[in-house]
Structure 1
């Protein structure tokens, strides 16, 4: 069985964690806000990750739409609590024809209570005229009768009823909104960061190839001079220019990819009014992207523990709690109804002496349905749903653990690949430099020089791809445990 207090504490803890990235004190927040707006407006350098997070968490209309769910969930809770608001009742009747001319007016204020299906009431009634003997209970003294009383249930409705269940479920719905909002924010931030990393990778590759291309272009004039002197054959210059053209074509293809991802990234960049900030395609990559994620032994242990608090599991636990409440309500329907009502009344004014004294009244009402098939079926259905959710929670937790361990294995491999690709890029750069020296000394040919240059470019591109792939692997670990909404904007 799910403990409600446990769910409340854990959900509040999750909400507190999520608020780390969303709530900052006003003075510091104002400074951060202005700084981020300035960064978003900078057309020369692309945004850092914390700038992107600021935009997604606080400026994007999708995030604002998610926050509106809190207003609706709290409104539903207020609606449920309104079942215990006091209310006014009025009854009256008058004999307009016949021998008797009695008139009766009666008003009461009732305040329902959450415990024991109880309610307290105060009542005032006054009558005038004559009543037949079988309606003497309506008679009051000249100024009327005032009374107070209480009514509550002894069996059916004592522990639970639809009104109290409505409040409980509304509170659970608020908890459910919190975990669902966390899930939506987690997915939204993940998509934004994946777009950012893809743009970052393609931009780095463009800059790397352009840098190598600039160095290579400087050698064209020297090679042309050697051809004119007869030191090299004309085909050497032709081969060089063909290789240079291939590199330029590669740069243009990389720019095409970069520019496409720049437009995709613009969707997540917003100004203070929530409008899209179109990032220029040729925007440079910032020197430090301010990557907020970190993975180490200590952090891995914390991430694994966070699996038990995953929003998907919390959502199922809330649904299970609501199902168990249905079981309680269905069991309540099987009980006989036994209600007690007690009141004290005092007549005021002049009239019959039989009404002078304070009157105390106690009443009992009893009923019991002879057929309980509906209630029994509802109990069996709700219990089956409870067992179903327990099994689904277990399966979901196992699936999350499996997904995390799979992502962890990929992250370990990504670290190793990044290290090897870095060594490969450094080695390719060294070999390319040595080949240029050999070519200048006449100990090599253009075919080998072009091959070394192409290998250097490919190695550097793979190194960049491996670095970004490692960042994506770290991102996946945080995404699986749904901790992306807790990322703080520095």
Structure 2
């Protein structure tokens, strides 16, 4: 295959005219340079990067649920028989396990309270306490805060896969436009080369006509052939300029502005094509389907839904929370408040029927099944796309070989016909037909070469391998 590729490139280059290099800004970029340019300067990449930043901030927001907080309560009787006032300040630090919260509190009270509010009373210096609150059933193993943090991290992983998927598609589109420009440029060069040859031949025909060796109609037929090629060149140049405009969307300067390739730009000696496919690499590309970012997106979504399913099951449990603390009053006052106190409290609740939690669990379980089906469908679709691309690549390789042979035969036949014409055994009509056949064969060979490159590119695109290709340094 490598020998075949080298022969293909040499044959293709033999059809073209070697032109002098232009200034750097007028030269067509190589493929690695285009890939680097698109990933560095294109606004679309900035959009994706900003979305990544948003998800990073989303994770920070989810983690903020465990930020410590300060709470204050102040109450005062402004009228009536009792004049008691109380103030409390708490520092609450959420913990990761068992929905636990570490609580430290200082409170102080003054004045008289009714008997049913005696819990507000403290010694003159107030009361300091430290304790912990935690869940024993519901929210013990999982809760919305911990699930939020876990899913936020998974969302970042999911977007990384989506980023690779979108960049793969984006680079693939840009390279397709590049190949269209490259094909048009090769064709323009081929026709221009033929026109240069015809101009040189015109001199010889004019000399023979002046000597009386040729009829004037022969030169007229020749000029008609030249005009036909000039029209073909004009049409190809129109296609080339349109392709350059389309490519400008992907080729940018450092400020992110579009750059249009100059219509007079010459082809590089090599476009440094990095997507060459050999028979030995097909198996590696096929194996890469297992790591396709489209599948990674679904797998990550399955993990997110699995967490949501655990959270839904958690809501089916009764709520049983424990709060324990140790408190100590400071200062003077009633002796009953002077001792160190230990307090334990339990809170229990359960929603009878719990239909909302059951419905949520059923809905999440159904989503998990859907994701499983979508994963199978996505994998089957990728496998089918790869096999189709592989078959097309094989066919493109065969067509390229045949078109190159056809081009070589057309050149040989044209050379023989020209020898016959010079000897007077043929006429200009037959010679023009042979020359036209040569041009058509060359253009078909160019189309086959570009089709081969497109087939190789598609194989890499199907397995999301376009973004994996190293860019220019």
Q: What's the TM-score, normalizing by structure 1?
A: 0.89
The reply to whether residue 342 of structure 1 matches residue 320 of structure 2 is no
Where in structure 2 are there 5+ consecutive unaligned residues?
A: 1-20
1:173 aligns with 2:150: no
In the alignment, structure 1 residue 308 sits paired with structure 2 residue 290: yes
Distance 1:459 1:244 in 2: 17
CA distance in structure 1 between the partners assigned to 2:279 and 2:392 by the alignment: 15
Match of 2:98 in 1: 116
Query: Which residue does the alignment assign to 1:476?
Result: 458
Query: For 1:291 and 1:455, how far apart are their aligned partners in 2?
Result: 30
Contact kept, 8 Å, 1:107 with 1:125, in 2: the verdict is: yes
Separation of aligned partners in 1, 2:81 and 2:155: 60
Give the whole-Å Cα distance in 1 for the aligned partners of 2:158 and 2:328: 50
Match of 2:10 in 1: none
Deviation, structure 1 residue 419? 1.7
Query: Which residue, out of 113, 119, 134, partners 1:137?
Result: 119
Q: Which residue matches 1:245?
A: 227
Q: Do the aligned residues in 1 keep the contact of 2:326 with 2:342 (CA within 8 Å)? A: yes
After TM superposition, give the deviation of residue 358 of structure 1 in Å: 1.9
Contact 2:122 2:337 (8 Å CA) reproduced:
yes
Q: Secondary structure of the residue that 1:117 maps to in structure 2?
A: coil
Name the stretch that deviates more: 62-71 or 393-402. Answer: 62-71
Corresponding residue of 1:11: none
Could you give the per-residue CA deviations for residues 348-404 of structure 1, whole angstroms, max 9, x where no partner exists? 122222223221111111111113122111111111111111011101100100000
Matched, 1:269 2:229: no
Q: What's the secondary structure of 1:137's corresponding residue?
A: helix
Q: Which residue of 2 aligns with 1:438?
A: 420
By how many angstroms is 1:91 displaced? 0.8
Q: What is the match of residue 305 of structure 2?
A: 323
Distance 2:353 2:423 in 1: 105
Partner of 1:154: 136
Aligned residue number for residue 393 of structure 1: 375
Q: Which residue of 1 aligns with 2:217?
A: 235
Structure 2 match to 1:69: 51
Q: CA deviation at 1:250?
A: 0.8
Q: Is the 8 A contact 2:83 2:112 kept in 1?
A: yes
Name the counterpart of 2:435: 453
* Separation (CA, whole Å) in 2 of partners of 1:402 and 1:40: 44
CA displacement, residues 45-92 of structure 1 (integer Å, 9 cap, x when unaligned): 211112211210001111111111111111111111111111111112
Alignment match of 1:91 (pick from 63, 73, 77): 73
Q: How many residues align?
A: 452
- Further displaced range: 400-409 or 160-169: 160-169
Give runs of aligned pairs for residues 39-54 of structure 1, distance below 5 A: 42-54=24-36
The answer for the alignment partner of 1:422 in structure 2 is 404
Gaps of 5+ in 1: 1-38
Q: What CA distance in whole angstroms lies between the structure 1 residues aligned with 2:97 and 2:402?
A: 68
What RMSD over aligned residues (CA atoms) do the two structures have, in Å? Answer: 1.7
Q: CA deviation at 1:343?
A: 0.7
Deviations 1:200-232 (A, max 9, x none): 011011101111121122112222332343333
Return the offset for 1:152.
0.8
- Are the aligned partners of 1:192 and 1:268 in contact in 2 as well (CA < 8 Å)? yes
Distance 1:218 1:40, change over 3 A: closer
Q: Distance in 1 between matches of 2:280 and 2:141?
A: 46
CA distance in structure 2 between the partners assigned to 1:189 and 1:268 by the alignment: 9
